[in-house]
Every structure is written in structure tokens, then in C-alpha cells.
Amino acid sequence: MIAEAPSMNAPVVRARPQRPKKFVNLRKFVRHPFAIAGMSILGVFVILGVFAPIIAPYNPQASIFIPMQAPSWQHLLGTTNTGQDIFSQFVWGAQTTLMVGLGGGVITVVLALLIGMTAGYLGGTVDAILNTMSNIFLVLPSLALLIVIESYLKGTSPLINGLIIGLTGWAWGSRVFRAQTMSFGSRDFVVAAKLSGMSNLRIMWTEILPNMYSIIASNLTFACLGAMLAEAGLAYLGYENLNANSWGTLLYWAGNGGAMLSGAWWWFVPPGAAIALCGMSFTMMNFAMDQISNPRLATFKKRRKPRVQSNSGIGA
């Protein structure tokens, strides 16, 4: 009856699952055209940001150049009205903005997970309290809340901004995770885990959380997008340390320096376009994730044999 009958000293050779089966979704993701496009675009800006110290030709704050120059080989994105090199500002701005976007997004998701899962799994009074809290945060207009906080703090650095964005933006994600946790919590395999003596914390960590990876990933892309846009918005409105270097402050100074009036498109178009492109790349990655986790959303190639097509009105 014994499956393996090892001799006393022979090591037990274990069967190993083939790795691909476990990460099948991840592999599908990196092959999906939308995901590839999104990651490439984002990748360009990430490289710019990571290697900013090497790539940026000048000190972004140095106002030593001829102001309001159009793009040239010495100044790839021209200069500001105070004679600063915009390209250097742009590259350093990439670093800051992306750090805030990704950092703020991660903080948001972690908080949302903690609060949402606890509420969904434990239920009862804990759920009622956490639910009320998240409802409050949901109802508050987030940008207005951020502005109010900022105006007390007076000119915070982008990183602090990122933290604040993370601490206030978790409500929507927590609802999603709460609902997911509740639906898993009533499944038989969770009841079986309880019956086998697992503690609640362990159940949440080993039984429920691994089932939520794709929805966490999807949430993360949205959260990063939101954080990035929030930071840009706050900076543009002047609620950030104006000496900081981010795409948002770049836009602020562009507005302040009359770039639009004087037609200095090289000042405000690059940061705006960069924000839009990064936002789009997050969205594209999210789209790819949706298609993979819900196969019914996927579109199919046209079949070669048109003779016996399904009724076109009721097909896919």
C-alpha cells in the first residue's frame, strides 16, 4: 500500500509540478499584445527615470541658458522662461512622477487589501466598522480632500504626496477585495480549511489571497494610474513643493510661465503627453489582465471556413 518504499537511507525523490502550470497566467500576460505594448511604453519612461542622473545633460534647476528656446540639439526639449533645460527637468521628473505613481499605488493596494480582506472575512462588527470607514472615504471627493490636507502641510515633497494619496485612495479597492473575500469565504474549501484547524490569519494568507492575484494586479494598475494623475493634478494646482522635479510641477511652471500664451509647446506638451502615455500603458496592461482572467472577453480570430458560420447576429 505504500507509494514509495525507500530503503532506510535512500533519499525520497519527490515529484515536482511543472512550473508553467502554476504561472500560466503570467506567461499569457507577457505574450499578450496589449501587455507588451503597455510594458514597453512604461519601460521607456522607467529607464529614463532610473538612469536620470546619467541621461540628464544639465542640472534641472540651473537657470543659466537662454530662456524660451525651441528644441535644439543642445536642448532637446528647449528651455523655460527662466532659462532652465526642460529635457533635464523632464527626465528627473520621470523619476519622481513614476516613483510617486508606483509607490502611491502600492500603498493604496496594500491598505485596501488589509482593510478589505479583514472586513470581508471576519464579518460582523469588524466589518460594520471598516465598512463605514471606507464608505466615508469613498464619498469624500478625493482631490478636494487632498487639497485640504496639502494646504495644511504647505508645499510637501512629491514623496509625501504619494504617501498621502496612498493613505486616502484605498477605499474603492477595499470594497472590491472585501467582496472577493466574502465570496471565497463561503466556499467549501475555506470551510474545509477551518475544519482542519487552520487559524483565520493563515486561511486569509494561504487560501484566499493566492486566489486573488489577478484581481490585485488589476487593481494595482488602476491605483498606480490614479496616484500618478493625482500627483500631477496636485502639483499643477500648486500644492507641491515647487522646487521639486516632477511632471506635475513642470506643468505648473509651464502654466505659470505663460507657455501656452507664448506658444512654447515644448514646455507643456512633453509632460502632458508623458502622463497620458503612462496612463495609457497602465490601462492597456489592465485590459490585458482582464482578458486573461476572464476568457469570455477575449476576441477570436476569424475562422477560415465561412460556409457554416454561426448566425452573425448572435455570434461571439
Partner 1 sequence: MSSPVMQKNALAVGQPMVQVEDLVVRFPIRSGVRKAWITPVDHVNFTIGRGEVLALVGESGSGKTTIGKALMRIVEPSAGKIVVGGKDITHIKGRSLADYREDAQMIFQDPFGSLNAVKTVEQHLYFPLKKHRQLRGDDLYIKAGELLELVGLTPVRETRIKFPNELSGGQRQRVAIARALAVDPKFLVADEPISMLDVSIRAGVLKLMNQLKDDFKLSYLYITHDLASARYFGDRIMVMYGGQIMETADSRELIRRPTHPYTKLLLAATPGNPIREKLPETSNLAPNLLEGRTGCVFASRCPLVTDRCRDEMPKLTLLETGHSAACHYAS
Partner 2 sequence: MSSRIPVLELEDVSVAYDTHNGPVQAVNRVNLKVYQEEIVGLVGESGSGKSTLAYAIMRLLKGAAFLQNGTIKVMGRDIYAMSPKELQAFRWAQMSMVFQSAMSALNPVMTVEQQFIDTLRSHNKQMTLEQCRMRAAELMDLVRIDPKYLASYPHQLSGGMRQRVVIAIAIALEPAFVIMDEPTTALDVVVQRSILDQIQAIQRKVHFAVLFISHDFSLVAELAQRVAIMYAGRMVEVADSGALTQSENHHPYTEGLLRAIPKLTADEIVIEGIPGHPPDLVSLPSGCAFHPRCPYVTDECRQQRPSLYEVGTSEVECHRYAGEKVVQHV
Least distance (Å) between residue 122 CB and partner 1: 16
DSSP state of 189: H
Least distance (Å) between residue 152 CB and partner 1: 45
**Partner from partner 2, partner 1, none binding residue 3, C-beta < 5-8 Å depending on class:** partner 1
DSSP state of 297: G
Least distance (Å) between residue 308 CB and partner 1: 31
In the complex with partner 2, the residue whose CB is nearer, 9 or 299, is 299
DSSP state of 69: P
Q: Which residues bind partner 2 (CB under 8 A)?
A: 296, 300-301, 303, 305, 308-316
**Beta carbons within 10 angstroms of residue 121's beta carbon:** 20
CA nearest 24: which of 208, 292, 299, 297? 292
Q: Which residues bind partner 1 (CB under 8 A)?
A: 1-4, 6, 11-12, 14-18, 21-22, 187-189, 191-198, 207, 210-211
DSSP state of 302: P
Least distance (Å) between residue 209 CB and partner 1: 9
**Partner from partner 2, partner 1, none binding residue 277, C-beta < 5-8 Å depending on class:** none
In the complex with partner 1, the residue whose CB is nearer, 190 or 250, is 190
**Three-state SS for 243?**
coil
Q: What dihedral do alpha carbons 74, 76, 80, 86 form, nearest 10°?
A: -110
In the complex with partner 1, the residue whose CB is nearer, 295 or 315, is 295
**Three-state SS for 51?**
coil
